[in-house]
Amino acid sequence: MSSIVAIVGRPNVGKSTFFNRLIQRREAIVDAVSGVTRDRHYGKSDWNGKEFSLIDTGGYVVGSDDVFEAEIDKQVELAIEEADAIIFMVDVESGITGMDEDVARLLRKVDKPVFLAVNKVDNGKRAEDAVEFYGLGLGNYYTIASINGSGTGELLDALVDALPEVEEDEDEEALPRFAVVGRPNAGKSSFINALIGEDRYIVTDIAGTTRDAIDTKYNRFGFEFNLVDTAGIRRKSKVKEDLEFYSVMRSVRAIEHCDVCLLVLDATRGFDGQVQNIFWLAERNRKGIVILVNKWDLVEKETRTARDFEKYIQAQIAPFTDVPIIFISVLNKQRIFKAIETAVDVYKNRSKRIKTSELNDVFLPIIENYPPPAYKGKFVKIKYIMQLPTPQPQFAFFCNLPQYVKDPYKRFLENKLREHFDFNGVPVSVYMRKK
């Protein structure tokens, strides 16, 4: 389990640059136009051996500063509610602005660790200018330059010291955790009620009546596991950006701490951008995934409708298409137990261990018949295969020139693994290692 750290602040203070530096990849698009951070606003980072998840809130507001002003309070409030610590970023070049004061006013009331980061401080003169930020009433500040990383070490030292120690509950850990995720109003709470056979959650037609991720121990048909209802969002606001922000923010923690995600989508709305975001979040965390298409009873049926819909979803999630898709109707209790049985199968696939001897017996002949393509006249020879001791399926292929094995061939190997050993619903990682 990792803590969640949110980066807040007005546009253009350098949140995305800082975020990219921490997750060590250019995950967000960085540009001088305010509000261009689009899709990549979530990543993992670690410092001094402590892992945490990082959320760049800036990515969720697109448009002019006045649109932003309306949204920033909501975002900061949500970050305050969901995150374990908050980095509030300001810009030494522009000094304290009205919007900064606005955010500071919200943050002063918080009993969580707040770190004031004064960005773009890359010389002594600017370090002197930073003194004015004491005026925000948040105590000490950290001067950083996210473009070259200066000062970030001190900030991160203080940050990880302040993060809560995450305690694992031994008994709970033993039980598989299934998280029910999806966009608001797709039927997540109703699905759980139908499973449990009691109104454990209040279900209404207003999007977002479920507040927090709630765990329910579930024991039926000989399955025992924890069901986590993330049921995203409780705001009635229809602003796409902020809905997206809330549901992603709500889903992050649940997805990180589960084994299998049951992704519920509304058949009448399709596999839209927000559902895809949640799907890729689960995939990036290497979790088992089952896609549940709810409200299938409301869809006009023609010949092969289900098959067409399945193909349409697979086109959106390629190349990871080996994912079970189940058409359900929570209202009519259609196939909801099939959904759980499938999730149990996916859980078993995710924890499957394959003997090294069996892997080599299956793969060496395949590799002999279809070797990796030669690269610059050099031939790659794969000698040995083993599964790595990780919670999810990862395989190491030992060879003489690992750097010459390209993605298409790795995908070929992954497909063969799926063909022979059934990893339906589970992301599989293939690594080339030097023999």
Q: Which two structure tokens, joined as six digits, stand for 106?
A: 């919200």
Nearest to 221 by CA among 329, 343, 340: 340
- 118 Cβ neighbours under 8 A, 6+ residues apart: 90, 91, 92, 130, 133, 141, 142, 143, 144
Q: How many CA atoms lie within 13 A of 227 on its CB side?
A: 26
CA distances from 207 to 188, 211, 233, 270 (A): 11, 11, 7, 17
Summarised one tens digit per residue, pLDDT across range 355-377 is: 999 999 999 999 999 999 998 88
Neighbour tally for 265: CB within 10 Å: 26
**Based on the number of CB atoms within 10 Å of its own CB, is 418 exposed (0-12), middle (13-18) or buried (19 or more)?**
middle
pLDDT of res. 255: 86
Query: Beta strands 114-119 and 85-91: pairing type?
Result: parallel
Label residue 222 left, alpha or beta by phi (over 0 means left) and psi (-120 to 50 means alpha): left
Q: Which two structure tokens, joined as six digits, stand for 272?
A: 């839209």
Q: Which two structure tokens, joined as six digits, stand for 236?
A: 């009635």
Summarised one tens digit per residue, pLDDT across range 300-353 is: 877 668 889 999 999 999 888 999 999 999 888 889 889 999 999 999 999 999
Annotated binding site for GTP: 9-16, 56-60, 119-122, 182-189, 229-233, 294-297
Residue type present at position 279: F
- 342 Cβ neighbours under 8 A, 6+ residues apart: 290, 324, 326, 425
CB 112 within 8 A of CB 80: yes
Look up residue 416 and give its DSSP letter: H
**DSSP states of 247-300:** HHHHHHHHHHT-SEEEEEEETTT-S-HHHHHHHHHHHHTT-EEEEEEE-GGGSP
Point out the residues of the chain with pLDDT beneath 50. Answer: 25-40, 59-63, 170-172, 202-212, 232-243
pLDDT of res. 66: 57
Annotated binding site: 9-16, 56-60, 119-122, 182-189, 229-233, 294-297
Look up residue 134 and give its DSSP letter: G
pLDDT of res. 71: 64
Give the separation between CA 144 and CA 138, rounded to whole angstroms.
17
Q: At what angle are helices 188-196 and 336-350 packed, to 10 degrees? A: 100
